[in-house]
Amino acid sequence: MPIVTIQVTREGTAPDRPSVTAEEKAALIAGVSEVLLRVLNKPLESTFVVIEEVDTDNWGWGGLPVLDYRRQRAAKK
Amino acid sequence: MPIVTIQVTREGTAPDRPSVTAEEKAALIAGVSEVLLRVLNKPLESTFVVIEEVDTDNWGWGGLPVLDYRRQRAAKK
Amino acid sequence: MPIVTIQVTREGTAPDRPSVTAEEKAALIAGVSEVLLRVLNKPLESTFVVIEEVDTDNWGWGGLPVLDYRRQRAAKK
Amino acid sequence: MPIVTIQVTREGTAPDRPSVTAEEKAALIAGVSEVLLRVLNKPLESTFVVIEEVDTDNWGWGGLPVLDYRRQRAAKK
Amino acid sequence: MPIVTIQVTREGTAPDRPSVTAEEKAALIAGVSEVLLRVLNKPLESTFVVIEEVDTDNWGWGGLPVLDYRRQRAAKK
Amino acid sequence: MPIVTIQVTREGTAPDRPSVTAEEKAALIAGVSEVLLRVLNKPLESTFVVIEEVDTDNWGWGGLPVLDYRRQRAAKK
């Protein structure tokens, strides 16, 4: 009965995608469920997966909203 | 000071309801708060309840998005 | 497929009980699962419940560890 | 590598603000990250902060949706 | 910056193992981090994984503590 | 009614301390509660704080258990 919660920022993986696509969500669900099956022998039908998409304003890193932090890190390089 | 978090899919309980209604949410809040009062003697005013509605694309079961999994299970019967 | 998470302090409901008992945990599980069945028509077998017991040092209320806050409130009365 | 999750109701701090502003979110992120640095010596760049805004219908207190509970408490005074 | 939380019961995968081993935990961490890399292109160093082991008394399924529920299901077959 | 959850590894801030001390926990609780008061005007008595200490085996970073990841990073410098 594992529960896997995946928290990611609400962003796309390519410039023309505003957010994670349904296909990518399905691939995340399949992928982590298979990890639980392979490592701990948990049957697929006993694993729940919850994906939480978090607005970039609501995600902090380095003491800053994440987009500001990324800009700061890019500027330093 | 209990905290009860209820995660459900964002779906209605009847075909004409797209999501959990405000009345149903109030009934969930009342119901679980009463369970904490009855079982652990926690006063109602010390219990917080948070309801999280999760899009069906973001909920996985059986290694699949939940709507696909339900269809698969229905087809097997 | 609801998931209900119940967070409570690791304390007993009577002076001779250091923590929530197995019977009380079973009553919490039964109680909240029945609320989900009654209000949202979720079958019992599709509901997961996770109880998290939190040490009183690790629970804050009123800007203080919870035992200090309770003492402060009791002293004010 | 601390993770700080802040759950608040989706409400503004002034009548003309429907929700927490981006500036307030940035101040929350900065504030809690600094607490982790000051108290536990955790570098800013190792702390993640996630802010979850919860609709008032989805937040329960005192066995009621939170707006109903606040009205009940105000009426008692 | 994904955060993946894996909740499992505190049980071993073989009769002589009382709980998930350190090797199995490392395999879970590697496995889910690779899924985030492969599906969403998230660099390994930006993913946090938290494994939460839950005592079987504290995990409910089917309205019962999970060990009781498994016994009930096994008896029905 | 904010809820702040702080997840940290179960480690001390000095070689002779095996874990976060009660004084440090109290300082975390006071600190984050004051941030909520200052930024969002939330009264101290309406904020709950929950500190979750996670064993280092159960925390992953960079696709590895966190102690292995730190060693790897230290070796690279």
Please report how the helices D22-40 and F22-40 are oriented relative to each other, as an axis angle in degrees rounded to 10: 160
H/E segment holding residue F9 = strand F3-9
- At residue A16, the pLDDT reads 85
Closest Cβ opposite residue A51 in set B58, B68, B69: B58
CB F66 within 8 A of CB F56: yes
Report the residue of chain C nearest B6, measured CA to CA. C4
- At residue E15, the pLDDT reads 84
Burial class from Cβ neighbours inside 10 Å (0-12, 13-18, 19+) for residue C11 reads middle
pLDDT tops 90 at residue E56: yes
Which of E57, E66, E72, E73 should one mutate to test binding to chain C, selecting the residue with the greatest count of C CBs within 10 A?
Answer: E57
Q: Which chains touch B (3 or more CB pairs under 8 A)?
A: A, C, D, F
Angle at the Cα of D47 (from F34 to A1), degrees rounded to 5? 105
**Segment D32-56 mean pLDDT:** 97
DSSP A35: H
- At residue B18, the pLDDT reads 86
pLDDT tops 90 at residue E60: yes
| Domains, chain B, with CATH or none | 3-76 (3.30.429.10)
| F3 neighbourhood in chain B, CB within 8 Å | 3, 48, 50
pLDDT tops 90 at residue B14: no
Mean pLDDT score across all residues of chain C: 96
Residues 6+ apart with CB under 8 A from A63: A69, D29, D30, D33, D34, D37, D44, D47
The amino acid occupying position E18 is P
- At residue C14, the pLDDT reads 87
- At residue C27, the pLDDT reads 98
Q: Does the interface ipTM go beyond 0.85?
A: yes
DSSP F14: S
pLDDT in tens, F16-60: 888 999 999 999 999 999 999 999 999 999 999 999 999 999 999
B10-13 long-range Cβ contacts below 8 angstroms, 24+ apart: B10/B53, B10/B54, B10/B55, B10/B56, B11/B56, B13/C40, B13/C41
CB B29 within 8 A of CB D60: yes
- At residue F58, the pLDDT reads 98
In sequence order, the β-bridge partners of residue E4 are: A6, E49
CB of C53 within 8 Å of a chain E CB? The answer is yes
| E40 neighbourhood in chain A, CB within 8 Å | 8, 13, 20, 24, 28
CB D66 within 8 A of CB D11: no
Q: Which residue has the higher pLDDT, C1 or E51?
A: E51
Q: Which residue has the higher pLDDT, A66 or C15?
A: A66
| B66 neighbourhood in chain C, CB within 8 Å | 1
Q: Contact E59/C48, CB-based, under 8 Å?
A: yes
Burial class from Cβ neighbours inside 10 Å (0-12, 13-18, 19+) for residue D17 reads exposed
pLDDT tops 90 at residue D18: no
**Segment D16-41 mean pLDDT:** 96
In sequence order, the β-bridge partners of residue D48 are: A61, D3
pLDDT in tens, C41-77: 999 999 999 999 999 999 999 999 999 999 999 998 7
pLDDT tops 90 at residue D30: yes
**Segment D13-30 mean pLDDT:** 93
